[in-house]
């Protein structure tokens, strides 16, 4: 904002002209131009209309800021709509199709991702920690190096999903379908596997410390080769239910 201060009335030209020293008489036209602008500035500084316009300009900026924040909710809704559009348009297709960014953006805004279908998608490095993924479909998706820590994957379809080296610590995998899932090197520390189906899943070198395994529905054919930090009794129980222990099967 321009600060207005009273301007002094410029001296008459006859006096101002005398201020030009003899050796600088050639600069008289320049001084004359400066003198004219001094009079213009002096006249405008006394014109209240310009000051009113300045205040109106400042007020319009304030109004724009107020409208910007008042419409923030609508902008967020529009952003969410566009994210869901990206996800749904690419449904059933391979590749990423912008779904990694869309899913992460929705989760960052704490939008439930219940029932999301990203089957067969390329989602390496996806970070949906703490997400609500109830009844989601990740079947045959490439989720290598993903972060699904503390995510709610109850009733999720992870059949044939590639979860190699993924982080599923404390994930809620109750009643999840993990048949044929590739969990090699994955971290399942503290995960709840109650009611989960792990038939033919590959759990080699997976970290299974403190998993809730007592109510796993089925582990027939699951490979527990070289699993890390297995809870007491888990390996013996799993092998009795048809799991296998083969640390290095043919790739």
pLDDT at 110 over 60: yes
pLDDT at 88 over 70: yes
**pLDDT tens digit string along 188-213?**
999 999 999 999 999 999 999 999 99
Domain check: are 102 and 170 in the same one?
A: yes
Domain check: are 98 and 117 in the same one?
A: yes
Task: State the Cα–Cα distance between residues 222 and 246, nearest whole angstrom.
Answer: 10
CATH code, domain carrying 134 = 2.160.20.80
Q: Which domain-ending residue is among 37, 70, 103? A: 70
Percent of the chain with pLDDT over 70: 79
Q: Which domain-ending residue is among 70, 91, 106? A: 70
CB 205 within 8 A of CB 227: yes
Domain check: are 151 and 215 in the same one?
A: yes
Helix, strand or coil for residue 64? Answer: helix
Task: State the Cα–Cα distance between residues 152 and 169, nearest whole angstrom.
Answer: 11
166 is a domain residue: yes
* Residue in 150, 228, 221, 151 with CA at minimum distance from that of residue 180: 221
**pLDDT tens digit string along 37-57?**
777 776 766 666 656 666 667
Q: What is the structure's pLDDT at 29?
A: 73
* Residue in 190, 114, 103, 207 with CA at minimum distance from that of residue 153: 114
Task: State the Cα–Cα distance between residues 36 and 129, nearest whole angstrom.
Answer: 69
Domain check: are 98 and 207 in the same one?
A: yes
11 is a domain residue: no
Angle between helices 99-108 and 72-89 (to 10 degrees): 140
DSSP-assigned beta bridge partners for residue 167:
147, 187
1 is a domain residue: no
Domain check: are 202 and 146 in the same one?
A: yes
Domain check: are 160 and 214 in the same one?
A: yes
**pLDDT tens digit string along 140-180?**
999 999 999 999 999 999 999 999 999 999 999 999 999 99
pLDDT at 96 over 90: no
- Global pTM reads 0.71
Domain check: are 153 and 134 in the same one?
A: yes
Domain check: are 203 and 155 in the same one?
A: yes
111 is a domain residue: yes
* Residue in 96, 188, 210 with CA at minimum distance from that of residue 143: 96
Domain check: are 34 and 158 in the same one?
A: no
Own/partner pairs for 87-90, CB < 8 Å, 24+ apart?
A: 87/116, 87/118, 90/121
Domain check: are 96 and 56 in the same one?
A: no
**Domain limits for position 153:** 76-246
Residues whose CB falls within 8 Å of the CB of residue 3, separated by 6 or more in sequence, listed in order? none
3 is a domain residue: no
Domain check: are 108 and 148 in the same one?
A: yes
């Amino acid at each position: 904002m321009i600060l207005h201060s009273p301007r002094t009335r410029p001296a008459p030209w006859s006096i101002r002209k005398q201020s030009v020293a003899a050796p600088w008489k050639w600069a008289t036209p320049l001084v004359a131009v400066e003198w004219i602008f001094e009079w213009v500035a002096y006249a405008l500084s006394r014109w209240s209309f310009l000051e009113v316009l300045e205040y109106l300009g400042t007020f319009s900026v304030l109004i724009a800021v107020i409208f910007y924040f008042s419409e923030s909710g609508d902008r967020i809704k529009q952003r969410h709509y566009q994210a869901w559009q990206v996800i749904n348009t690419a449904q059933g297709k391979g590749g990423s199709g912008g779904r990694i960014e869309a899913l992460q953006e929705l989760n960052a805004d704490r939008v439930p991702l219940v029932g999301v279908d990203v089957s067969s998608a390329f989602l390496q490095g996806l970070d949906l920690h703490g997400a609500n993924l109830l009844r989601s479909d990740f079947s045959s998706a490439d989720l290598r190096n993903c972060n699904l820590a503390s995510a709610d994957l109850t009733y999720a379809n992870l059949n044939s999903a590639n979860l190699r080296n993924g982080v599923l610590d404390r994930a809620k995998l109750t009643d999840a379908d993990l048949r044929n899932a590739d969990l090699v090197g994955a971290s399942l520390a503290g995960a709840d596997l109650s009611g989960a189906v792990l038939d033919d899943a590959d759990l080699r070198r997976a970290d299974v410390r403190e998993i809730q395994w007592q109510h796993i529905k089925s582990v027939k054919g699951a490979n527990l080769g070289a699993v890390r930090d297995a809870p007491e009794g888990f390996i013996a129980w799993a092998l009795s239910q048809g799991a296998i222990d083969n640390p290095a099967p043919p790739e």
